[in-house]
Amino acid sequence: MSETTEKKYKRKKSRRKKKDIGTFFFRLTQIAILFIFIGAGFLFYQTGYIQKVVALYKEAQTVMESSSIDDFQTDLSGEVYDSNGDLIALLRNERNIIYLTSSEIPEQAKQAFVSIEDKRYYKHKGFDPFAIVRAAKSLISKNSITQGGSTITQQLARNIYLTHTVKWERKVEEIFIAMALEKKYSKEEILEFYINNIYYSNGYYGIQAASQGYFSKDASELSLSEIAFLCAIPNSPGSYDPVTHKDNTLKRRDLILKNMYEDGLISEMQHDHAVKETITLNQTKHSFTRTWAHTYIYESATRALMEATGQDYDTCHNLLYTGGYRIYTSIDPVSQQLLQNTIDEQLSDYNTLNNNGTYALQSSAVCIDNSTGYVTAIVGGRTQEGVSADYNRAYLSFRQPGSAIKPLIVYTPALERNYTASTTVIDSKEADGPSNAGGYSGSISLRTAVEQSKNTVAHKVFRELTPEIGLSYLLDMNFSSITDEDYALPAALGGFNQGTSSLEMTAGYATLANEGIYRLPTCITRITDMKGNVIIEPDRDEHRVYEADAAHEMTDILKGVLTRGTAKGKGLPNMPSAGKTGTTNDNIDGWFVGYSPYYTTGVWVGFDSPRGTSALAGSTYPVAIWNRFMTQLHEGLPSKELND
């Protein structure tokens, strides 16, 4: 063997020996690690940790088995719209979420959250160990965490299904739920759920509520800078509160914009422009004052939900504030404000207060569009600062209607039974009958009896008709407070046990204006879910109550009330109109209900605690309010005949 060959052999033998030693130590290390894992596993088993993790996994699976999209669409604020489709009220709840679908969320908002919160969002399956390493590295190098270790899916799992308590058990279950969420829902759905449910401080959940709350506009109208500004808040709603810590919010906005630029989501020009943009908070819009119309809308919507779902009142009322419904109404803001102003102005001289500080003399009124039968305006009292609009007298207060009831319960039914406007009737006092305020005229026409509001004639005709027949017409128009005691002759003059509401009376006269066909009065045109799907379109319950000929003739008679009768001179200029006054005993209640070809309006004036005043009659405050309101309401409308 040559010297060179011998040296090679020795070197090879030495390397083999070192390799064998290395292999030995490597295997020894593997065995040691294996024993460590076995030991750790044994300790975990002995201390119950493994069983706990298994239990948490099973619990997460159970949660996901019952999971549905509804879990992420709770506590949704409702929205109310007027007849023009404009937002007039928000039905707020504790979380105040105004839900947006994925297509409605600004694309840059999605990009901003992914860029700052979870860069690998579209790559991981709910849990991202790289994010934890990245967060730790950031903490070490920058002494701060610019991106959290929890994925967007984990944050969603924590917000919806778990608490924010810092425990290892919660963190493990959070990971399990997040991974299960990723299997059940798409990335777009999870991002939609996340952006709608995270907290943006000051009571705003979801980007739409935050956008309306901070900028008074919809999320779709936000600039890139405003989007980044809002997306900065949820990381720490206390530290980044735009109202109290705006500087902090702006710093994080800039960080988000920097991330978006580095990730290639926005251009350098977009970045620079957004950073330079001045952020101005505007928290004035959508601060709605609760009005009489709002109270009526909420009540009507609740009743509509009850009828559609079969659930009880409290459940349906709560749904309005948590179900994310969109309530579309027939309330016309111009008519509503005009009716309110007219009542306030006409009663402005009577400022006596009750012991509780409210105005003593009150009024309620309702206006119905004759072409649709929908309520366009409803007022439940006078405007008074500090006084709640919850007690809406227009539909909650039932008062004696006086002579205003006569066309509905006496005269139109009589016109269906061989009476005509020219039928001769006897105006004379009977021993057991009522008196007339203006004396007695003997033989007169039925038309004159109505125009002059002769109680004696109404009493006699009603006796012939019978209370059973007369009251059947009111029941057919859903008058809700008829009692057994009302089946008596005093009902002909409005002498009821409980009375009627302004809403009921107006709907009754609207039936005459509609040629005898009754339409259930409501202001709800439809209710949709947050995606625009119609879930309720109220049944209008249209049916004939009076014969068309009788309704026509009654209208013709009631026109004379405004030209020759108790409301003489209060007709509408250049517009045919008809109506009837009503005054109860001792001038306790005053009414006027009348209509044109376009609208029917009913007005009541009186005291909440019934008492009389000589200044009150159907021919004073009520007809003055009616005339003033209806005159302005008809400005610019072409004249046409009633029942045309």
Among the listed residues 77, 115, 300, 403, the single catalytic one is 403
Element (H, E) at 27: helix 3-47
8-state DSSP, 408: I
Query: What are the structure tokens assigned to 183, written together?
Result: 């299997």
* C-alpha span between 94 and 318 (Å, rounded): 12
Gap between the Cα atoms of 52 and 59, Å rounded: 10
Contacts for 570 with CB less than 8 Å, ≥ 6 apart: 562, 623, 624, 626, 627
Please, how many CA atoms are within 13 Å of residue 365, restricted to the half-sphere of its CB? Answer: 37
Q: What sign for the dihedral angle of Cα 101, 103, 105, 110?
A: positive
- DSSP helix/strand/coil, 506: helix
Q: Is the dihedral of CA 399, 400, 401, 405 positive or negative?
A: positive
Q: Which helix (H) or strand (E) holds 88?
A: strand 87-91
Listed in sequence order, the residues at least 6 apart from 351 whose beta carbon sits closer than 8 Å to its beta carbon are: 359
The answer to whether 199 and 167 have CB atoms below 8 angstroms apart is: no
As a whole number of angstroms, the distance between CA 338 and CA 308 comes to 33
Strand (E) positions, 487-577? 517-518, 524-528, 534-536, 543-544
117 is catalytic: yes
Q: Half-sphere exposure of residue 184, counting CA atoms within 13 Å on the CB side?
A: 18
Q: Specify which residues 368 forms β-bridges with.
A: 375, 600
| Opening angle at CA 398, ends 395 and 400, nearest 5 | 135
Task: Decide if 147 contacts 135 (C-beta within 8 A).
Answer: yes
Chain center to CA of 9 = 92
| Cα gap 570→558, rounded to integer Å | 12
Tokens of 544: 């004939």
Single-letter residue type at 188: E
Say which residues have a Cβ less than 8 Å from residue 13's Cβ, sequence separation at least 6.
none
- Report the C-alpha gap between 614 and 377 in whole angstroms: 29
Decide: 76 and 191 in contact? Cβ < 8 Å. no
Pick the catalytic residue from 77, 83, 115, 117: 117
Q: Strands 326-329 and 78-81, how do they pair? A: parallel
Sequential DSSP letters for 597-633 = SSEEEEEEEEESS----TT--TTTHHHHHHHHHHHHH
Map tokens 């119905």 to a residue: 368
Sheet holding 375-379, edge to edge: 375-379, 361-369, 599-607, 589-595, 578-583
10/163 Cα distance (integer angstroms): 68
User: Residue 29 burial by CB count (10 A; 0-12/13-18/19+): exposed, middle or buried?
Assistant: exposed
> Catalytic amino acids?
117, 403
